[in-house]
Amino acid sequence: MEVRIVSVGKLRQAYALEGCRMYEERLKHYIKLQVQAVADVKGQFTEQEKARVECEKVMSALQGCEAVVLLDEGGSRLSSVKVADFFEEFRRTGVKKLAFVVGGASGFTPEFKELYSMHWRISDLTLPHEMARLVLTEQLYRAMTILKGEPYHKVGLG
């Protein structure tokens, strides 16, 4: 399976660069991973205008993807195990190209959200896009280790 992470804006903070690189390298043992950053919109534009232009750029990056998951504050809450279950379902149904989208500070337009039915929430907290991308990348790695029965994922004592 090919997994594409499409993110609005570049990683600039050292913690995000290092963390994403580490998990992206680990993920290569499980999936074909492609990461693409699209430029965020700067300047004297409204938040709606920024979101519209960024969503257009993201749509271009999603060409050929059979399934798309938007990371959105209004999305479904998922556990790490549920993320792994989704991966297994994607594989079982023959999805070959799956994309995850991390939006910019202006978010997604309502029209863009309507195009894709899967919306996941990374956290109930508002996160900078760099941190959201790092958490996403770690959770994708965690999902792969869960599916393979590897010891990375620990279940708490409750």
pLDDT at residue 94 greater than cutoff 90: yes
pLDDT-derived band at 155 (thresholds 50, 70, 90) equals confident
Q: Is residue 157 domain-resident?
A: no
Q: Is residue 46 domain-resident?
A: yes
Q: Is residue 65 domain-resident?
A: yes
Statement: the pTM of the whole predicted model exceeds 0.75 = yes
Residue whose pair of structure tokens reads 């409204």 in the numeric block? 46
Q: Is residue 156 domain-resident?
A: no
Q: Is residue 158 domain-resident?
A: no
Torsion of CA 134, 132, 38, 86, to 10 degrees: 90
Q: Say which range, 58-62, 86-90, 151-155, has the weakest mean pLDDT.
A: 151-155
* Alpha carbons 51 and 48: distance in angstroms, whole number: 5
* Alpha carbons 3 and 49: distance in angstroms, whole number: 29
Q: Is residue 154 domain-resident?
A: no
In total, how many domains does the chain have?
Answer: 1
Report the CATH number at residue 12.
Answer: 3.40.1280.10
Does an H or E element contain 37, and which? strand 32-38
Q: Which residues are CB-contacts of 93 (< 8 A; sequence separation ≥ 6)?
A: none
Contact of 126 with 150, CB cutoff 8 Å: no
Q: Which domain holds residue 41?
A: 2-148
Q: Is residue 24 domain-resident?
A: yes
Torsion of CA 45, 51, 55, 58, to 10 degrees: 80
Residue whose pair of structure tokens reads 């999305």 in the numeric block? 75
* Alpha carbons 18 and 115: distance in angstroms, whole number: 33
pLDDT reported for residue 9: 93
Q: Is residue 155 domain-resident?
A: no
